[in-house]
């Protein structure tokens, strides 16, 4: 969730801004956070922890097998 928030603040506010000083940048961040917090919405997880972990394990095994295949080809 933290990464998502930083993505949103970066794309919505920081990429479009011109900041001539650190205080200007801090003010822009504070303004964004204040605006964001005017209508807070809770994040509701749609997947169970088990589903997420199973997906991570599958991805890890696929990446590991591809990485090992690349190593074998590189050695030949």
Give residue-wise pLDDT tens across range 36-72.
899 988 878 788 889 999 999 998 888 887 656 554 5
Same domain flag for 36 and 53: no
Confidence (pLDDT) at 63: 83
- Residue 41 — left, alpha, or beta (φ > 0 → left; ψ -120 to 50 → alpha)? beta
Written as six digits, the tokens of 37 are 């917090």
What domain count does the chain have? 2
Q: In 27-54, which positions are buried (b, 16+ CB within 10 angstroms) versus exposed (e)?
A: ebeeebeeeeeeeeeeeeeeeeeeeeee
Spatial distance between the Cα atoms of 76 and 72, rounded to a whole number of angstroms: 7
Same domain flag for 5 and 32: yes
Written as six digits, the tokens of 3 are 């990464």
| The model's pTM | 0.54
User: Residue 26 belongs to what domain range?
Assistant: 1-44
């Amino acid at each position: 969730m933290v990464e998502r928030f930083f993505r949103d603040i970066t794309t919505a506010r920081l990429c479009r801004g011109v900041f001539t000083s650190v205080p200007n940048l801090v003010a822009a961040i504070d303004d964004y956070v204040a605006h964001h917090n005017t209508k807070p919405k809770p994040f509701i997880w749609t997947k169970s922890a088990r589903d997420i972990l199973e997906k991570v394990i599958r991805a890890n095994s696929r990446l590991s097998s591809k990485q090992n295949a690349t190593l074998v080809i590189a050695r030949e």
